[in-house]
């Protein structure tokens, strides 16, 4: 080690993946959203329910009224609504949500600086933070309606 500590290397914080699509975000990047913010987006649900991984369930749900397709869509909703920890999302995903981007970016910085301990207001599962009726409305949309228009256009 040098006389003034010049030989010390600062430990670099590891990159983290976007919780929605996996792209790598370096220390301080991204936006921090709550589960409530994630599930309160028709655009998110419309995109999510016609992705290649979910398309078969949506087709079964809409075209054949298939109970298993509807159950799988319910499980997908539960995955996103029940997460207790905040969601780290990148630039490519944040525009799906109607959020204050500057605030979400500041929350992400606080999250990084706190070694991933910071939780934004209304953190926790969406069912815990939302009024029951509003939660049920979003669940109804995500499970029963999301992606229907897009699927119709696809043929």
User: Under a CB-based contact definition with an 8 Å cutoff, are residues 43 and 96 in contact?
Assistant: yes
Helix, strand and coil in the chain, % to nearest 5: 50, 5, 45
Burial tier of 95 (Cβ tally within 10 Å: 0-12, 13-18, 19+)? exposed
Q: Domains of the chain: which residue ranges?
A: 16-154
pLDDT in tens, the chain (155 residues): 445 555 555 566 789 999 999 999 999 999 999 999 999 999 999 999 999 999 999 999 999 999 999 999 999 999 999 999 999 999 999 999 999 999 999 999 999 999 999 999 999 999 999 999 999 999 999 999 999 999 988 77
């Amino acid at each position: 080690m040098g006389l003034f500590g010049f030989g010390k290397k600062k430990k670099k914080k590891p990159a983290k993946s976007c919780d929605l699509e996996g792209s790598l975000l370096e220390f301080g990047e991204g936006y921090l959203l709550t589960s409530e913010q994630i599930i309160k987006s028709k655009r998110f649900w419309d995109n999510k329910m016609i992705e290649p991984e979910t398309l078969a369930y949506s087709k079964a749900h809409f075209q054949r009224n298939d109970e298993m397709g509807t159950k799988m869509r319910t499980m997908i909703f539960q995955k996103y609504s029940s997460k207790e920890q905040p969601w780290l999302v990148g630039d490519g995903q944040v525009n799906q949500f109607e959020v204050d981007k500057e605030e979400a970016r500041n929350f992400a910085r606080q999250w990084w600086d706190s070694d991933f301990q910071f939780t934004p207001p209304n953190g926790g599962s969406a069912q815990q933070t939302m009024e029951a009726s509003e939660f049920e409305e979003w669940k109804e949309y995500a499970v029963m309606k999301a992606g229907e228009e897009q699927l119709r256009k696809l043929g």
